Structure formats: C-alpha cells, structure tokens
Structure 1
Amino acid sequence: MLSPGVQLGNRYRLDERIASGGMGDVWRGTDQVLGRTVAVKSLLPALLDDPGFAERFRGEARTMATINHPGVVDVYDFGSDQQIAFLVMEYVEGDALSATLSRVGRLTPARTMALLAQAAEALHAAHEKGIVHRDVKPGNLLVRPNGTLVLTDFGIARSDMVGQLTAAGSVLGTASYISPEQATGAVATPASDVYALGVVAYQCLAGRRPFEGDNPLEIAMKHVREAPRPLPGDIPPAVKAIVERALAKDPAHRWPSAAALAAVARQAKAALSQQARTGQAHPISAAPASPGAPVARAQVPTAPHQQPARPPAAAHQPRPPATGQARPPVVARQPQP
C-alpha cells in the first residue's frame, strides 16, 4: 500500500495523494534528483496481473511522450518498483475543470469558449500524432490559476503505436461523455473526441450534462438515441450552434477536426469579449470547413451603430419646420445568414 513518504525508483518521493481513478492513484511527489515537484501516477497492483492493463499503462507513457504541446501534460519518466508501475508527469498547479464546475455550477459563454478552444487545440496535437484520447471529460482537463488548460490522462487512448488494446466490440470511456459510435462499440476516431468535448462545453454552459440516467448503460444509450435537452435561453445563439454541431450524432456532421472547433470557439470568445468591452454585440459565424459539411451559422444581433445617408430631398419638396427634436434613428438591419 502506497503512503506519503514512500520512494519509487530510488528517486520519486510520494508526498500527497491528489486523485484516484479506476486504474490507480495520482500523487504529488518530489523528484529528489532534480529537486522539482512532479505528479506520479501509480497503477493499481491488482491490475498488473492483467497484461492488457499493464500494456495500456506503458502505452500511455509512450503515447503522451510523443506529443509536444503546451496544452498536453508532459511525461518525464516511466518505471516499476515493488510490483508497482508508475508514470512521472509534469505537476500542474491548478484544479480539474470538474472541481470548478462542482464549485460554481456554470461558466460564462466567454469562459467556456476560451477553455473549449484550448482543449480542442490540445486534442488536435494528439490527433496529428494518430492518437485518439477516448475519455475527454472535465476530470481530465486541468486549469491553471492563470486560466490556461492542460489535457491529461491518456490511459485509454487509442494510438497507431500502441494499437487496439481492448477486445473487439468493447466500450471504453465515461458514459456521460461517450460518443454515440463508442457507445455502440465502433472504433473511436478524432470525431469522437470532438463529441466528448462538445459534452464538456454543454455542461459548462448549462451546469448539467446533456444526458442523465440511473446507470452508465442507460446514459450511453441516450447518447445514441436521444437529442440533448436545450441549452439555457441566455446562451448566445452562435455559441449554441458551435456546441450543437459538436454534438451531432453522425460524426460526419460534427466539426471536421478539433482544429476547426478550436478556431470557431476562439472567434466566438473574441466576439463576446468585444461585446463586453463596447456594449455592442458582434456577429459570430461559422462556415463549413469542407465541401458538403453542414453549416452551423448564427449571429448575435448587432446594435445600430450609424444612420444610413438619406436621399436628397426633391427641389419642390418643402423642408419640414425645425422642432428642436431629433428624428428617430433609422435602424440598419443586419443581413440574415
């Protein structure tokens, strides 16, 4: 049994358990050679008897080490000691997004779009390496005090290097965030991560997940068969459109890549920030990124900012008498998409 003060690999001292999961525990520790704080993830000893779990854990180390992106947690080392396999990672100062949502309930649309963009960029870096995370959820998104986000826990990722480590037709992932194709046993793709990130964004905006149920199977089947409950009415239409497209049942109807999702989320964040500074709403639109892709386009109504020029009066038309009162402004309507 691991406890504070235990040393692994004659190098890493465990200081405090900071998280527990189905595969093991995560500790805040100290690298006694380099004198830095690290995160140490230990695999539950009972799982070492299962070659599949042990190989997946080693695969996580190899997988994460191939990704060089500020939004993906760095891996420093991997080893085993006292029949305990462990992974040494960058220690991220901050809270899991799940803890933040438990504390505050909902996030603003602007904050949600900022986090969505960062998470999507991190996922795109993984996808470029041929890696599908398969378990995107608030607990695997760490947020630093300065607002930057880090994606972690690739323990069940599918990678071209590691291969498929589970039996055909088996389901991996967390039911509340699982894509419809994963729920039915199909192979997860980058579009599956886009869906899961859409669920995370939905939860940030609504303060609840789109589907609830009495057990994981019931929830997973709702992802397959049911439409999400509508987002709250105070969410800007463009933000709704971004999230709804990410949650499309058909992977072909989602954003074509995590990079595309990141781009529209950043655009939405910029428009919302501009609106907050000026008091005027600015249009947010998202055109399809590839031929034949469905359009998710919405505009935030804009306030009138100028009066159009009036045509000159005819020579025979008398000028109206001055009344000392300004004419009502002529409102220029924004063209609809």
Structure 2
Amino acid sequence: MLTRGVLLGDRYRLSERVATGGMGAVWRGTDVLLEREVAVKVLLPSLVADQEFTARFRAEARMLAALRHPGVVAVHDVGQAVLADGGQVDYLVMEYVEGEPLSARVRAAGRLDPATTMSVLAQAADALHTAHLAGIVHRDVKPGNLLVKADGSVVLVDFGIARSRSMAGLTAANMVLGTASYMSPEQATGQSVSAATDVYALGAVAYFCLAGQPPFQGDNPLAVALRHTQEEPAALPPGTPPAVAAVVARALEKRPADRFGSAADMAAAAADARDSTLASIPVSARPPWALAAPTPGTPSATPAATPPVPAFAPPPAPTPAPPAAPTPSVGPTPTGQPAPIGAAPIGAAAVRTPAGFAASPTTGSGSTREDVFREGSSGRRRQLLIGAGAVALVALIAVAVVALRPGQEPGGTDRPPALAGESAAAPDDVALNPGDASTSGPPPSGAPDASRTASAAPTGSGGRTDAPTSAPDPRTTTPGSTPTGKASSRPTPTGSAAGRPNPYTAAQACGSGYQVIDSATLTGGDGQRKGRVFLMYHSGTGANCVVTLKDTAVGTKTAASAYLEVQGRTRSTDSGSFDYYAGPVRASAAGTCVKWGGTTGGVSYGSGFEHCD
C-alpha cells in the first residue's frame, strides 16, 4: 500500500498525493540521491497485472524521456518496486511543476482575453509539435492538462493515454480514450488518431479560454461527443478579433485535412493572431509580458526550445469597448470583459488595453500567406461527420463510456497549486448552444500558415474593372468627417485613425455574413507589415469577397488594390489611392476555383487558382 514516507526503488520518497487519474496517482516526492523535488506517477495496483497497461506505461516513459521542450513535462526515470506488503508497483518519475491548471485560471477569471489565449495556444501547440515529431499523439489535450507557471509559461502534462504510431496494437479494441468536451470527431467515432487530433483538442481549449466554456456540452459524454461530430460551436464572444476567431475556427474543422497542417503551423498562426491583436495598442501601453519573441517554428524532438513568452499579464484598467463589427453573433455573451490574469513582473504596473483585451507585438518579417483552411482542401465548407460515424460512435461509447469523461476523472478533485504530470479532475464543461463559429472585431483577421515571398507593387492610381459604388467611399473619408453626396451603405470605422490602427475590419468591408477563409500578410523589406489581403466567403450566397486593409499610412491616400478572379471569368479589380482599404471585390464562386490578391505599401500578393469547392 502506498503511503507517505514510502521509498520506491531505494531512491524516491513519497510525501503527498497530489492527483489521481485514470491510470494512476501522482505523488509529490523527493529524489533522495539528487536531493530534488520530483513528481512520481504510480500505476494503479489493479492495472499492474494487466500486461497491456504496463506495456503502454513503460513505452510511454521511454518516448517521453526523449522529448526536450520547456513546454513538455520532463521524464527522469521509470521503474518497478515491491512494497512492504508484497504488492508490486510500476512508477514514472517526472519533474515537479509548480503551476496551476489552465482550467482553474479560466474559472477564476471567467474567460481570458484573446492575446493571452493565443499566447497559451502558441506555447502549447509548439510543445505538442515536439511530441508529434517523436511519433506521440497526446489524445487528451484539455485545460486541466495545461499547467500555467507563475511566470505565465505553459507546460503540457499527462501523456497517460498518449499513443505512439508504432504502438497501434497496444490499445484495446473499441476503447475510446480522451475527454468528451475536447474530443475530435475522428477520435469520437473510433477512427485513427493523428497530430490533427491534438490540434482539434487544442482549438477546443482555446474556445474554452475565450468563451469561458467548452464548445459543446450535454447530459452525458455520448451527447457531447455526438455534438462534436455533427454540430458547429456557437459564435465566440462579440469583440473577439477575427484573426483569433480564424485560428480557432480552423483548428475546429471537422475533417482533419481541413485543420492546420501541423501543430507548428498552429503555433505560428496563434502567435500571429496574438501579434495582430497587440498591433492596435500603442507600444507604451502594451502589457509588460507582451514582449517580442521568436515565432514558434519547427522544434526538434531533442534540443531544448527557446523559453516561451509569459502568457498572463496584470489586470488592465477598464476601457470602453469599441463598436462590434456588423456580423451578427448568436453565441452567449459573458458578462464583463475578460482580463489577463496572473502575477505581474516585479515593478510592473497595470496597463490599459482596448476592449479589455491584452495583446502582443508584431514580430515576424517577410510576407506570409495565412490560410484559415489548409491548401488543397475545400476551404469553404465545413464537413460534418454523420451517418455511419455517428453509429460507430454509439457503439464505441457503449463499450467505453467511462473513458469519455467530460472533464472529470473518477474520484478526482482539483489539484493544489503545485502540480505534476497528471490530469486534474476539473469541471471544464459549461453549457453552450450551437451556432455559427464566426465572429468579428477590431483587428485584421487571418491565420498564418505557409510563408510566401512578396514582390514590389507598382504605385500610383489605377482603375477598377468591376462596378464602382456611387456613394461616398469611407476608404477615402477621414473618420469623424462629414462626407457629401448620397448616404453610403459601407461600414463606419470602429475607431479613429489617429492612433494608426486601421479602423476597419475585413468583415466590415465585405459586409454581414462573410467569413475569413484565407489571408496574406504584406510585409516590406524593412520588416514592417504594410497590410493584409483577405479572402472572404459567404456560405449563404456562395459569394467570395476580397479586400486589402492598410496597416501603414492609415488615413492617408496611398496606392492599394484588391482583385478577385473566378476561373473562366474576367478578373475584377479595385485599385487606386485609398485611406483605409481597397475593395471590396465580390463575385459568386460557389464550386469554382478563384484567384485573389492585392497590393499596398509597395508589396503585392497573388494566389493561384484555389478554394475550388
């Protein structure tokens, strides 16, 4: 029997049980040889005799020990021990992480601000990519398995149900492992898991951070899992930046092929969304934690990575929220504004941030292509897994409903602040109605994916080849001025251009019902972002819309353009000298490939024919 003071392997003295999970218990302990604090995960006695569980337990220890990443809990040792009563135990020794579950942080704050959420997402995705490179799929990514340290850095724990691609035969038939609230459709229907499975789960975690509740809830795990396969989540809270919403939407695609191509791509997209949120805040007013850091790249499975940017900032003073963009939202609106949480660095003062959102700086250079949907996929429609998949799900859960826990584990309780390597029994599920996952807000949107090279664009005024609007153009009207002529149906700026952020969003420019499906960042040779080109899609009409938003010389007439070409038709272009944006250029393109692009600040982008479905 395990009790306080037991010495395992003549080396690890147990002092306090800190968590209990599906495969075992985690104890706080001491490595008496090296005189350091450790976490010891002990396999449940009832499972020691099960050769399958012990084989997985030891194999996972070997795989995890090979990982080197600050965002992955380190494994120090694995062994077996015979207790005084003759019982035998298998144990895993890990680093002891002083931290708090992300689930507890969100519950304490209500919800997190977009920039903080994207910082957490970037760190966690970067850590997951390291595991994926080693052939490990976590399969139970959830807020309770992300520990937040005092400095805001995030550590991924509890690979207790992780499975290597080489261990496909070591999971019992018809066993579905994972947590229902964050379970991917393919995982819920018993299909093969992959890195995309973890990407989906991390997207659901981001949704939980932003909305204060997971994407779906139900009376039982089966109901929750079914909703993941058949429904779309409700809209994120009003004011969520489109760039942030786009990252979450792409991660939560039903088809694995429509999600980010890798966790590294997701990390880069999250970092860019964080940066675009920060771009609307003057440098002097940015939170002290929002420091420029390298964009997550492709980590190795062995070398240590650069320490991540802390994720949590001191609470900002409240400021009035800007007007919401015209896209309607059907999701619930939590009361109050989210605030960054956690301890501030010594001497740091609280800062003000627009609409209660923290943000971080733009750091990248070069022109980046930002696909909200992976190239080669439809890019315009979410595919629902129904019919046979739902039937398979019912059969699987009938066999393994215990594994589909919505966020709790039998007999578990919330962990204390000091945590290590095991799931907390945190209630991560809160009710949320189904709806449209799109949203809009002040900053430009887009989710970065592949990098593309920009070319210098010609300057000067050009002509548009599609029908112009006769109303006064807000693109060339200073916010607050009184235009002459007919009233315009174009959107009104959401803020002043005096602070140099663009007061318009792509959703406002294109109109209600359009959602970002692709975007490209236009970055000059000086490393400064000149603007962004957005490809939008209206699922109700099948129409596309392209708009180029300026990020430099905002409020001053400079050359810009946007174009859209539907395969088999003449290209439509809007070009000239504009204060805020070029476009919108719209065309019906349901089931037809399109080319799109634009220029501003002397930088151009043009796509090939794509988004064909």
TM-score, normalised by the number of residues in structure 1:
0.87
Alignment-derived partner of residue 264 in structure 1: 269
Residues in 1 aligned to 2:151 and 2:53: alpha-carbon distance in whole angstroms: 35
| Paired position in structure 1 for 2:524 | none
2:149 maps to what in 1?
Answer: 144
Residue 371 of structure 2 is matched in structure 1 by 287
Structure 1 residues 289 and 253, CA, compared in 2 at 3 Å: closer, same or farther? closer
Q: Is the 8 A contact 2:5 2:13 kept in 1?
A: yes
1:332 counterpart = 2:579:
yes
Percentage of identical aligned residues: 54
Query: Does 1:249 pair with 2:272?
Result: no
Within a 5 Å distance, the mapping from 1:181-330 to structure 2 comes to: 181-278=186-283, 286-287=370-371, 291-293=375-377, 294=379, 299=444, 302-303=502-503, 305-308=554-557
Match of 1:25 in 2: 25
Matched to 2:195, the amino acid is P
Q: Normalising to structure 2: TM-score of the pair?
A: 0.49
Which residue does the alignment assign to 1:170? 175
Structure 2 equivalent of residue 4 of structure 1? 4
Distance 2:369 2:210 in 1: 19
Letter matched to residue 153 of structure 2: T
Assess, with a 3 A threshold, how the Cα gap between structure 1 residues 144 and 164 changes in structure 2: closer, same or farther. Answer: farther
In structure 1, distance between residues paired with 2:144 and 2:196? 20
Deviation per CA, 1:224-259: give whole Å up to 9, x if none.
Answer: 111112111121111111101100001111111111
Tell me the amino acid that sits aligned with residue 20 of structure 2. Answer: S
Partner of 1:313: none
Q: In structure 2, what is the equivalent of residue 327 of structure 1?
A: none
Say if 2:204 and 2:215, in contact at 8 Å, map to a contact too.
yes
State the shift of 1:168 in Å.
Answer: 3.4
Deviation per CA, 1:96-117: give whole Å up to 9, x if none: 2122122222111000000100
Equivalent residue letter for 1:17: R
1:160 aligns with 2:176: no
Q: Is the 8 A contact 2:43 2:91 kept in 1?
A: yes
Q: Per-residue deviation at 1:291?
A: 3.6
For 1:71, the equivalent position in structure 2 comes to 71
Residue 111 of structure 1 aligns to a residue whose secondary structure is helix
Q: What is the CA-CA distance between 1:17 and the residue it aligns to?
A: 1.6
Q: Which runs of 5+ in 1 are unaligned?
A: 310-329
Amino acid across the alignment from 1:79: G
Q: Which letter maps to 1:235?
A: T
User: Deviation at 1:3?
Assistant: 2.4
RMSD (Å) for aligned C-alpha atoms: 2.7
The structure showing larger relative contact order (alpha-carbon pairs under 8 Å, at least 6 residues apart) is 2
**Aligned partner of 2:236: which letter?**
L
State the distance in 1 between where 2:96 and 2:167 align: 25
Partner SS state of residue 140, structure 2: coil
Amino acid at match of 1:80: Q
Asked whether 1:87 is paired with 2:98, we answer: no
- Distance apart, 1:2 and its partner CA: 2.0
**Paired AA for residue 332 in structure 1:** D
Deviation at 1:158, TM superposition (A): 1.6
Deviation by residue 1:235-288 (Cα, 9 ceiling, x = unmatched)? 111111110110000111111111110001011112222323358999998236
In the aligned structure 2, how far is the partner of 1:103 from the partner of 1:43? 32
The one-letter code of the counterpart of 1:307 is T
1:99 aligns with 2:244: no
- Shift in Å, 1:196: 0.4
* Structure 1: distance between partners of 2:282 and 2:98: 30
Give the residue type in structure 2 aligned to 1:231.
L
Q: Deviations over 1:184-222 (max 9, x none)?
A: 000101111100000000000000011101111111111
Alignment of 1:124-135 (within 5 A): 124-135=129-140
What secondary structure is seen at the aligned counterpart in 2 of 1:267? helix
Aligned counterparts of 1:105 and 1:25: Cα–Cα separation in 2: 29
Partner in structure 1 of residue 309 of structure 2: none
Work out the CA distance in 2 between the residues paired with 1:230 and 1:306: 31
1:215 & 1:159 partners in 2: Cα distance? 29
1:256/1:289 contact within 8 Å kept? no
Alignment of structure 1 residues 103-118 onto 2, 5 Å: 103-118=108-123
Q: 1:111 to 1:24 in 2, by over 3 A?
A: same
Q: Distance in 1 between matches of 2:186 and 2:138?
A: 14
SS of residue matched to 1:219: helix
Given that 1:238 and 1:285 are in contact with CA atoms closer than 8 Å, whether structure 2 keeps it comes out as no
Check 1:275–1:196 CA distance in 2 against 1; reply closer, same or farther (3 A cut). same
The one-letter code of the counterpart of 2:251 is: A
Distance 2:228 2:55 in 1: 30
Structure holding more helix per residue: 1
Equivalent pair of 1:79/1:86 in contact (CA under 8 Å): yes
For 1:36, the equivalent position in structure 2 comes to: 36
Between the two proteins, the alignment pairs up a number of residues equal to: 318
Distance 1:139 1:189 in 2: 21
Q: Which one-letter code corresponds to 1:299 in the other structure?
A: P
Name which of structure 1's ranges 170-179 and 48-57 shifts more when overlaid on structure 2.
48-57
Name which of structure 1's ranges 272-281 and 91-100 shifts more when overlaid on structure 2: 272-281
What do the CA deviations read for 1:160-185 (whole angstroms, capped 9, x no partner)?
34343213342111111110001000
The list of structure 1 runs, each at least 4 consecutive aligned residues, that deviate by more than 6 angstroms after superposition, is 279-285, 295-298
Aligned counterparts of 2:143 and 2:101: Cα–Cα separation in 1: 7
Alignment gaps of 5+ in structure 2: 284-352, 363-367, 381-437, 446-493, 495-501, 504-552, 559-576, 585-596, 598-613
